[in-house]
Amino acid sequence: MFWLRCSEHYEKIPVPAHTFGGWFDILVQGTINGYIGMSTRGKGETARTGSRMIVGAWGHGPSRKHGDLDFGERANVDRTSVELRWFDHWLKGIDTGMLDEPPVSVFVMGRNQWRQTSAYPLPETKYTKLYLDSGGRANSYRGDGRLRWDPPSDRSPADQYRYNPNHPVPSHGGSNCCGAPTPAGPRDQRPIEKRNDVLVYTSDILGQPVEIAGPVKVVLYASSDAPDTDFVAKLVDVYPDGKAYNLCEGLLPARYREGLSAPRYLESGKVYEFTIDLIGTANVFQPGHRIRLDIAGSHFPQFARSLNTDEPFGKGTKIRVAEQSVHHTGVRPSHVLLPVIPAE
């Protein structure tokens, strides 16, 4: 279908596009890519400057409450009114004032307000690293995993966990839609984070708000004794009462670390650099909160579990247990890259 490959055709599209989605929608990557593609590569000035994007704190459609959280009255949007205003302008020639407004509107969770901006990612973004660190026992939220603004020392020991496909880490919240069988949206992650096969890294309690809005990536220096495995990362907002709500997530099959067209199996025990795309979010980590990163080997059944073998992807029948190590030193600085928005 054409819409699945529209990224190959932005230069051929002469009319503006309006993308509309939610931070917890399974299709949010397409929402973001569609706007970036049209606003930077659309055919002609009208297509580029006329395109618009709205991303709210929803799943597959506007709402006030999603998952475990109520984001307030301002979170909900009348989609029909937005669409009518858009088509009145472009199809009927009615001046609705749409082009007088910033082209991008994103809902910032934590503050529960809309932020309008001239582009995505936001022009004022300061990409900032939060580094993983521990004493070698980051397993579960009871462990010693930490996030810190400065790199760890070269003496920081690696963390180990065992990923068993017969006992995968279950899906609990996240980006989904359309009657999926697992809980979607922001959910308290503590039932997941109590497992020893989940590495948990948490910042100190924040004294000042930290606002992020935009793409989030995790750079992980890790090894496995299996020829292939998955690495899952979740960015989490930890509230003062201990509740831990997921914001965004990503999964990377190790064999595809260099791209889908170049599968490469792992050498047992060799440390590789993996970049995990968490797509993005917008959130203010308020004072008294903490920033957290969870690392695991599965997110099942929302994503098919890796069987940790070199059999053809999606067709394997053998299962093996994988021993994984995550490294965080000055020369192997595992980190999460946050799109920080400076305080006004």
Distance of alpha carbon 104 from alpha carbon 54, whole angstroms: 6
Contacts of 252 (CB under 8 A, 6+ apart): 230, 231, 274, 275, 276, 277
**Where does the pLDDT of residue 335 fall: very low under 50, low under 70, confident under 90, or very high at 90 and above?**
very high
| Contact assessment for residue 216 and residue 280, using Cβ atoms and an 8 Å cutoff | yes
| Contact assessment for residue 114 and residue 213, using Cβ atoms and an 8 Å cutoff | no
| Contact assessment for residue 181 and residue 301, using Cβ atoms and an 8 Å cutoff | yes
Q: What is the largest CA-CA distance in the chain?
A: 66
| pLDDT over 90, % of the chain | 89
Nearest residue to 310 (alpha-carbon basis) of 266, 269, 275? 266
What is the mean predicted confidence (pLDDT) over 126-145?
98
Distance of alpha carbon 21 from alpha carbon 86, whole angstroms: 16
Quick one: pLDDT at residue 3?
Answer: 43
**Where does the pLDDT of residue 32 fall: very low under 50, low under 70, confident under 90, or very high at 90 and above?**
very high
What is the mean predicted confidence (pLDDT) over 102-125?
97
What is the mean predicted confidence (pLDDT) over 219-245?
98
**Where does the pLDDT of residue 2 fall: very low under 50, low under 70, confident under 90, or very high at 90 and above?**
very low
**Where does the pLDDT of residue 6 fall: very low under 50, low under 70, confident under 90, or very high at 90 and above?**
confident
Averaged pLDDT score across all residues of the chain: 94
Contacts of 135 (CB under 8 A, 6+ apart): 144, 157
**Where does the pLDDT of residue 281 fall: very low under 50, low under 70, confident under 90, or very high at 90 and above?**
very high
**Where does the pLDDT of residue 5 fall: very low under 50, low under 70, confident under 90, or very high at 90 and above?**
low
Summary count for the chain: helices (H), strands (E): 4, 19
82 burial (CB, 10 Å; 0-12 / 13-18 / 19+) is middle
∠ CA(286), CA(326), CA(295), 5° rounding? 45
What domains sit in the chain, N to C, each tagged with a CATH number?
2-117 (3.40.50.1820), 126-340 (2.60.120.260)
Question: Residue 7 pLDDT > 80, yes or no?
Answer: no
Strands 146-148 and 230-238: unpaired
* Phi, psi (degrees; rounded to nearest 5) at 322: -115, 135
Strands 69-70 and 126-133: unpaired
Model pLDDT for residues 151-165, shown as the tens digit of each residue:
988 889 999 999 999
